[in-house]
Chains A and B, each alone.
Chain A
Amino acid sequence: MSEHPALVASMSNRARELQKLSGTGVESWKKRRHLLDTKDISAAELETVVTAATICKEMIAGGEGPQPLLTTRTIANLFYENSTRTRSSFELAAKRLGATVINLDIGTSSVAKGETIVDTGRTLAAMAVDAFVQRHNCSGSAMQIARELGDRVHVINAGDGWNGHPTQALLDYFTMHEIRGSLKGAKVAIVGDITHSRVARSNIWLLTAMGADVHIAGPPTLVPPELSSFGVTVHNKLEPAIEGADFIMVLRLQLERQKQGLIPSIGEYRRVYRMDHARLKLAAENAKVMHPGPMNRDLEITHALADDPEKSLVLTQVGNGVAVRMAVLYLLLNKN
């Protein structure tokens, strides 16, 4: 993976296949400037992501080196909030497409130093960076950058506060789609801390739009009842949410929620909400468990279930993450 893109002799057949993709979904991605959330992703665009990610996954599996698909493009990974996993995934995806990547782990202290995210963005735009992959702890920060600098750069939201994490939802969708095909009518349970979860939100917008039967469950202090107005079924007890479910997405419980007084104790949470093999029996016969990571093993999900190759999709999700991000970067940044 270390070769400079210019040294890559020729393009693989799969890369050519990616270039030849056509249709309304591809056209729609070409017209799109940003990926801020899943709310405005059309069915055609989603289908295109699935097709493109399937090819990208084969490229990775085939051991292909960087392909000269985005050699003229420069992508900045702007991470104001630490995330080894998502940042690495985006970095690998960009490099596999032959793009130039720079990583900026800025940390939230830059605000204290007086530089706003718009200033930072403007500086990078002045260096002719084409796209920002931005992670920030404030909801709305991706939209803000797109509004301020959107005519100069493409913005890909890699997580903004509690609001959105569209590539996670896309890779979750891709992962479920690999197993089941269309998710129309599939029961998907999202369990845990919904209130503070951008993964939950982006998944809810995407899954409800694609006709899945979405159920959410978690303590009343961590599940906003208003979500029922967005077409999901809200539960506080875990069991009715996972009963007959095809997929169960378990969310990470931040330990600080206890200090904030949102849950009385970690021990009680574990007893009432932890996913394990026994509870999984309530779900559909071939139900799968997912987790966006990083996991608190034995808190929200048992060690055994997380590592069960028959039931757990956790590592599949991680692997698919690179393929889906390759697809997104390629579809968004290839305007030829």
Chain B
Amino acid sequence: MSDKILIKNGLILDPAKNSELKTDIRIAGGEIVEWGTELVQTGEENVIDASGCWISAGFIDIHTHMRDLGQKDKEDIHTGTKAAAAGGFTTVVTMANTDPVIDNGMTLSMYLQKISERAVIEVLPVAAVTKGLAGQELTNMVDLSEMGAIAFSDDGKPIQNMTVLRRALEYARLTGKTIISHAEDLDLSEGGSMHECALSTELGLQGISYTSETVAVARELEMVRLTQAPYHFTHISCASSLDLIRRAKVEGLSVTGDVTPHHLALTVDEVAEYNTNAKMNPPLRTGRDRSELINAIKDGTITAIATDHAPHTKLEKSRPFTEAPFGITGLETAFSVVYQALVLEKHISILELIKLLTIGPARILDLPVPSLSAGSPANLCIIDPRIQWTYDTSHGYSKSTNSPWDQKKLTGRVVCTIYKGQIVYRSEAITAH
């Protein structure tokens, strides 16, 4: 296939310039070479007709689990990045809680090797903060950073010992790499499998109260204040945590936060029939929390949407609710879900949404700011906002099917994704000739 592509008649969404511009884009040599109206097809160019579609810089997901190395029954870097591409992502940041954990140079280099062999888009690995995610001994953060770790996190588990976190934050000033927090107090959440509320009482399930997250956010913020290191809270789920992060930002601490599509779109009610595809950690909260997460996006407390794509096998998710693992997939549905929950419900504009999927996450981890101007890498996606579709996990790209949106109707869909000038995903809905 030719590496030259001409995208005709799309509407370019550029949140950096706050502009929407109808124009054609020419791609060659992996880069965007030219913009213009009425660009003419040259001989060997693939032409994509993007009439009625939007064009955005490729999305960046700063929280995914690709399950490679040792849990390939759930996902691997190939299937995971294919799923990401189908969701419009051209960069994914993967967490370190793999098997084995990415907590040493050898494992990281093995993982980087897998990425170079299997990834269809950019994969940026996070390395663990502590050895074995045990929360005790720091990993060789400088070594790992120099080898290519993009950030550090024990995600999946919190760092419970504040002295350990303090040292990690002090080292983060040395590496310049952000630490990503999975804020949870394990004593408070122990045994819980859903949000603590009237429904958990009714269903006879042990709840996880707000406090397990908010207590952790509060004490971690004290460590950030002490060390002045950059710190990022991922998958914030409740109003009480947002209040603390909001105040910390006002104070000037280098703190950021992201939320997941599921916390923005769903509430604890999804659990009602013991739906294991509504079981994740942190759990789905109340309608009020959902509104507060949306408000936090509007006021800039939250600057990114991250999927926490967490594939698990059918066998694991067919266990009884309390025994099924936490986590859902999210890459393939992320855009449609948040488009519906935020834009179609008129909370924010499409440009603001695109920002949360591109510039927002890039700034959090200090990645190059995505751009569609001439000379930029051709990382982009084409979105058709008119498409009504039904997500069917059996025809998805992820190896796993643990999505609460399986068989659900969604509006707006990524129809084509281009990474470094190559088409890495194209749906049948868009014609090319």
Query: Measuring CB to CB, which residues of chain A are less than 8 angstroms from any residue of chain B?
Result: 111, 114, 116-118, 136, 138-141, 143-144, 147-148, 160-164, 195, 198, 201, 224, 226-227, 229-230
Contact = CB atoms under 8 A, between A and B. Distances in A.
B205 A111 contact: no
Nearest to B320: A138
A163 B203 contact: yes
Given A147-B273, A162-B205, A163-B204, A140 B320 contact: yes
Interface string B159-187: 00000000000000000000000000000
A160 B198 CA distance: 18
Given A147-B273, A163-B204, A230 B322 contact: no
A140 B203 contact: yes
19 contacts: A136-B320, A138-B320, A138-B322, A139-B274, A140-B273, A140-B320, A140-B321, A140-B322, A141-B320, A160-B204, A162-B204, A198-B204, A201-B202, A201-B204, A224-B201, A226-B197, A226-B198, A227-B201, A230-B202
A161 B273 contact: no
B319 interface: yes
A117 B320 contact: yes
B274 A229 contact: no
Task: Tell me the interface secondary structure of chain B in the complex.
Answer: helix
B273 A116 contact: no
Contacts of B427: none
Interface string B197-220: 110111111000000000000000
B315 interface: yes
Task: Please list the 4 inter-chain residue pairs (A to B) with the smallest Cβ-Cβ separation, ordered nearest first.
Answer: A140-B274, A162-B204, A138-B320, A163-B204
Contacts of A161: 204-205, 320, 322
B318 interface: yes
A138 B204 CA distance: 9
Interface in B286-336: 315, 318-323
A198 B202 CA distance: 10
Given A140-B203, A162-B205, A229 B320 contact: no
Given A116-B319, A144-B274, A144-B320, A139 B202 contact: no
Interface residues of B, number: 17
A226 B203 CA distance: 12
Given A138-B323, A161-B205, 8 more contacts: A111-B323, A116-B318, A139-B322, A140-B273, A140-B320, A162-B205, A226-B200, A230-B202
Interface in B387-416: none
Nearest to B321: A140
Contacts of A147: 273
A143 B273 contact: yes
Nearest to A227: B201
A301 B318 CA distance: 40
Contacts of B204: 139-140, 160-164, 198, 201
Contacts of B205: 139-140, 161-163
A139 B318 contact: no
A71 B403 CA distance: 44
A111 B315 CA distance: 11
A19 B27 CA distance: 79
Given A116-B315, A116-B318, A201-B204, A143 B198 contact: no
Contact of A139 (B197, B198, B203, B319): B203
Contacts of B203: 139-140, 163
Given A116-B315, A140-B274, A229 B198 contact: yes
Given A139-B274, A226-B198, A226-B201, A118 B318 contact: yes
B197 to A, nearest CB: 7
A144 B273 CA distance: 8
Interface string B5-21: 00000000000000000
Contacts of B321: 138-140, 144
Contacts of A198: 204
Give the residue among A136, A140, A144, A147 with the most B Cβ atoms within 10 A. Answer: A140
A251 to B, nearest CB: 14
A163 B200 CA distance: 10
A197 to B, nearest CB: 9
Nearest to B316: A116
Nearest to A108: B323
Contacts of A148: 318
B203 to A, nearest CB: 6
Contacts of B202: 201, 226, 230
Interface string B268-289: 0000011000000000000000
Contacts of A160: 204
Contact of A230 (B198, B200, B318, B319): B198
A141 B319 CA distance: 9
A270 to B, nearest CB: 26
A159 B317 CA distance: 21
Nearest to A80: B320
Contacts of B198: 226, 229-230
Contacts of A111: 319, 323
Contacts of A141: 320
Contacts of B197: 226
Contacts of A140: 203-205, 273-274, 320-322
A333 B127 CA distance: 58
A144 B315 CA distance: 14
A202 B139 CA distance: 51
A229 B200 CA distance: 13
A10 to B, nearest CB: 44
Contacts of B201: 195, 224, 226-227
Nearest to B319: A116
A143 B204 CA distance: 13
B199 to A, nearest CB: 9
Interface string B334-350: 00000000000000000
Nearest to A225: B201
Contacts of B319: 111, 116
A11 B203 CA distance: 42
